[in-house]
Amino acid sequence: MKRRIKKYFTSHSRTAQFLRFATVGAKVSAIDAGGVYLLPFLFGMNLYVARLISLSSAILIGYLLNRYFTFGNHHRGPFFRQMAGHVGVFIMGGLINYGVFTMLVKLGHQTLESKLYLSLLPLFALWIGGIVGMAFNFVFSKLFVFRHGRPCRVRNSDEAPPVAEMMPSAEGEVHR
């Protein structure tokens, strides 16, 4: 059991990374859900505005947790460049998440009559949107933000890239 726990925290396998990503997602979802319910309750805020605030907070906290916990030291790049990539991916994932959330809330208000179901509707919509957004975010974070590979070399702006980097391969991909 102790070995499995250690493997969960240290493994670089996709499965372990996805499980850590999902753990971070669960924590971030609690922050997001708390904002969705508490901001309107405490401050009389519109539900959709509250969701934008809670989602923005969740994205920032998610970046920090994913950078230091999910993907670990071997995937770290320059902090602000990586944060910008993370925010870009999560904005797209957030827009998908928010679109699913909005669609389900509007659909639910048109079709549901029970006060109990209507009170649980934002939570259900948040979970479904979160699952769709999490799948998008994991794939694109792994591919573009926390990718494992050789570090990028920073060039002067007047320095031309090596010819090999500009030449497409036989498969049509540009060499990096």
pLDDT digit string, tens, across residues 7-23? 777 777 888 888 898 89
Q: Residue 158: its pLDDT value, please?
A: 54
CA–CA gap between residue 130 and residue 36 (Å, rounded): 13
Closest CA to 146 of 38, 62, 73: 73
CA–CA gap between residue 36 and residue 166 (Å, rounded): 47
Q: Name the more confident of 36 and 80.
A: 36
Joined tokens for residue 15: 């499965």
Residue 137: partners with Cβ closer than 8 Å, 6 or more residues away: 21, 89, 90, 93
102: exposed, middle or buried (Cβ count in 10 Å: 0-12, 13-18, 19+): middle
Would you call 174 helix, strand, or coil by DSSP?
strand
pLDDT tops 70 at residue 172:
no
Q: Residue 59: its pLDDT value, please?
A: 81
pLDDT digit string, tens, across residues 62-109? 888 888 888 875 556 778 888 888 889 988 988 998 899 999 999 999
Domain ranges of the chain: 15-148
Contact (Cβ atoms closer than 8 angstroms) between residue 126 and residue 33? yes
Up-side HSE of residue 98: CA atoms within 13 Å toward CB?
A: 19
Closest CA to 58 of 33, 75, 39, 85: 33
Band of residue 165 on the pLDDT scale cut at 50, 70, 90: very low
Averaged pLDDT for residues 118-135: 89
Q: Residue 163: its pLDDT value, please?
A: 41
Q: Residue 60: its pLDDT value, please?
A: 85
CA–CA gap between residue 29 and residue 35 (Å, rounded): 10
The mean pLDDT value of the chain amounts to 80
| Percent with pLDDT over 70 in the chain | 81
Q: Name the more confident of 29 and 50.
A: 50
pLDDT tops 90 at residue 155:
no
Q: Residue 128: its pLDDT value, please?
A: 94
Task: Give the pTM.
Answer: 0.61
CA–CA gap between residue 13 and residue 23 (Å, rounded): 15
